[in-house]
A and B are shown apart, each in its own frame.
Chain A
Amino acid sequence: MNDRGTETLGTFYPFLQTRAADVDALIAEATRSTADKIAEIVALRESLAVTHAQSLLDCARRLAAAFHAGGTLFTFGNGGSSTDAQEVAQLFLRPPVAGRPLPAVSLTHDVAVLTALSNDVGFDVVFARQLEAFGRAGDIALGLSTSGGSANVLRAFDEASRRGMITVGLAGYDGGQMARSDAINHLFVVPTTSVHRVQEAQTTLYHVLWELTQQALVGEL
């Protein structure tokens, strides 16, 4: 709470008049800041189209080949990124628009498994251990971390790599430890320090990756 700000307003301005003026000023400020953020995300996406074009094409072709050979996609992430992991799995498995349904599983929503692993071993292994159980060579592991430094996501990539899976990472900032990991075949970094803009841009990256994978599967990429 900004108590000082409130006190200042209450002290210097007539009561109701001030409050009404305060609301109008805040609405105006909020409106301006919304327009700025929209411009920011539009520009960020435009820059990613350029920097990630070739990597998106390469990755989509690799994923299509993996699905063609019978591979399954496993997705993972923490917090907001866990909801992205679920969205990615759902998109591949049951596309909301025309598209070929593909086998995909999110490792984020089985509360029994997540709590068992966290309680018995530790939170760092929650995704790696599931890949140990499900992952086969030729499957795909896709992990998201806005910082690039989530320990359980990094451990999962190590496990996936050991098992001969294809690994895809989405990160923000400078890619953090994910950028230094040898276990990630295809890494997409959104180079901004705003967690919100990172997540918004990552959403576009995985949607475009899905579109391209679908095109590659029918030989149109």
Chain B
Amino acid sequence: MDSAVVPPVIRQAFARRVAPVRTLAADAEQIARACRDMAARFHCGGKLIVFGNGGPSTDAQHIAVEFVHPVIVGKRALPAISLTNDTATLTGIARADGFEEVFAAQVRLLASPEDIALGISSEGRCANVRRGLVAARERGLLTVGLVGGDGGDIARDAVTDHLIVVRSDDPCVVKEAHVTVYHILWELVHVFLEHPGALEPEVAR
């Protein structure tokens, strides 16, 4: 099809997705610094713990498999788990302590201080994701948030060490940008891990 005759409904659907992704370029250095800190945690034997609700729960699982079994041949396997796929644990915690506790309770049981917690929320307003990040921070984990919209209360209350906000109110568009961000997170973590001199504590800032 000639680009001049693309029907307006298609043109508009694709056009809505450009700005939120393009804007991410302004956060490129921030993303790079998050990756350096994540690589430092992996270098010390830490693991990545990921969580989110609904659509973002599938992103949590995608991120875990990305790190454990990279699509790029030859890259080492890194430890990563998603807190979203053990239905027995999720429903057990939800029943006993409420749905807001499902991630925080797992973090308290499974996390070590050298680990990384990555919470995903399309609008930054998921109580259980926030609690999971807060519980992680209390234990000394590196905390990273991947959010959308205006960043919600996760951004407002600065509950994470690193926060990447995709500026869109459409959760589908936010997800699309998040996929690009976490592919970059994975790739850059490996770049930093391949330069262990850059991961020593004395050069961390």
Binding site for B on A (CB under 8 A): 1-2, 5-6, 9-10, 16, 18-20, 22-23, 26-27, 29-35, 37-39, 41-42, 45-46, 48-51, 53-54, 56-57, 79-80, 82-84, 86-87, 90-91, 94, 96-97, 109, 146, 195-196, 199-200, 203-204, 207-208, 210-212, 215, 221
Binding site for A on B (CB under 8 A): 1-3, 6-7, 9-11, 13-14, 17-18, 21-22, 24-25, 28-29, 31-33, 35-36, 54-55, 58-59, 61-62, 65-66, 69, 71-72, 85, 122, 170-173, 175-176, 179-180, 183-184, 187-188, 191-198, 200, 202-203
Chain A hits for B61, CB < 8 A: 82-83, 86
Q: Is the CB of B179 within 8 A of A199?
A: yes
Chain A hits for B203, CB < 8 A: 16, 19-20, 22-23
Q: Which residue of B lies closest to A199 (CB)?
A: B179
Which residue of A37, A38, A79, A96 is within 8 Å of B69 (Cβ)?
Answer: A79
Can you spell out 8 A-B residue pairs with CB atoms less than 8 angstroms apart?
Answer: A19-B197, A22-B203, A23-B36, A42-B21, A49-B10, A57-B7, A80-B62, A109-B85
Chain B hits for A212, CB < 8 A: 9, 13
Q: Is the CB of A27 within 8 A of B32?
A: yes
Chain B hits for A96, CB < 8 A: 54-55, 122, 171-172
The 3 closest A-B CB pairs, nearest first, are: A30-B32, A49-B14, A34-B28
Q: Is the CB of A5 within 8 A of B11?
A: no
Q: Is the CB of B58 within 8 A of A1?
A: no
Q: How far is the CB of B170 from chain A (nearest CB, A)?
A: 7
Interchain pairs with CB closer than 8 A, number: 176
Chain A hits for B62, CB < 8 A: 80, 83-84
Q: Is the CB of B13 within 8 A of A211?
A: yes
